[in-house]
Chains A and B, each alone.
Chain A
Amino acid sequence: EPEVTQTPSHQVTQMGQEVILRCVPISNHLYFYWYRQILGQKVEFLVSFYNNEISEKSEIFDDQFSVERPDGSNFTLKIRSTKLEDSAMYFCASRQEGISNQPQHFGDGTRLSIL
């Protein structure tokens, strides 16, 4: 069964450094999402992406965050200058267009640890 893949599985970074989290969505999916989950807390929406542009973003997704789909397969989340509070599990998800009863499919996540 096709799946969403995320790399790396764990990223450790010094505060203030830039990080790029990578995702390969399911190939025939056209809607892409990033969520984060701080340890022990609920999942929070960050951003949705469709047709090569951001369609929605949350308050969490400030100027330090950006997303892009550089080559038609990868979907990346960049954090420009990381803060301690960015430490969390980041999940990428994708969804098929036009199939209203299909869920978002999630990758295994990237655990981001900011030191």
Chain B
Amino acid sequence: ELKVEQNPLFLSMQEEKNYTIYCNYSTTSDRLYWYRQDPGKSLESLFVLLSNGAVKQEGRLMASLDTKARLSTLHITAAVHDLSATYFCAVVRMDSNYQLIWGAGTKLIIKP
């Protein structure tokens, strides 16, 4: 059974600091997604990671995937208040029709 674990679950940080969110998953998968959710809002796709060693960057966010270690990271560089949100990783179950199995989410609060 595919399980997805994120850590930390809660992160409070100052602006301009760097930090990393980790996403581990328990069985083989070839697709991993990062989503952002603002309070009471929908799930916004940030990154799609398809292969081992994939790295994608958008602004102050960078995501990477190590399929051998079954680990993805979301790195935040020089955080700004606008990045405050909950970040989810979601992994596609291999024997499925793109069913997503979700991590618990990391609630990120960036203080000015």
Contacts and interface: CB of A to CB of B under 8 A. Distances in A.
B102 interface: yes
Given A42-B104, A43-B43, A109-B42, A104 B98 contact: yes
Interface in A76-113: 91, 95, 100-109
Interface in A24-52: 31, 33, 35, 41-45, 48, 50
A70 B33 CA distance: 30
B45 interface: yes
Contacts of A55: 97
A95 B33 CA distance: 13
Contacts of A44: 102
Contacts of B98: 31, 48, 95, 104
A46 to B, nearest CB: 10
Interface in B68-105: 88, 90, 96-105
A103 B45 contact: yes
Interface residues of B, number: 22
A31 B97 contact: yes
Candidate in A42, A103, A104, A107 with the most chain B CB atoms within 10 angstroms: A103
A56 interface: yes
B110 interface: no
A91 B45 CA distance: 14
A56 B96 contact: yes
Contact of A50 (B31, B48, B97, B101): B97
B95 to A, nearest CB: 10
Given A43-B90, A91-B42, A91-B43, A104 B100 contact: yes
14 contacts: A31-B97, A33-B99, A42-B102, A43-B88, A43-B100, A45-B101, A45-B102, A48-B99, A100-B50, A101-B48, A104-B98, A106-B42, A108-B42, A109-B42
3 shortest A-B CB distances, which residue pairs?
A103-B45, A43-B102, A106-B43
Given A101-B48, A106-B43, 11 more contacts: A31-B97, A33-B100, A42-B88, A42-B102, A43-B43, A43-B102, A55-B97, A101-B50, A103-B33, A104-B33, A108-B42
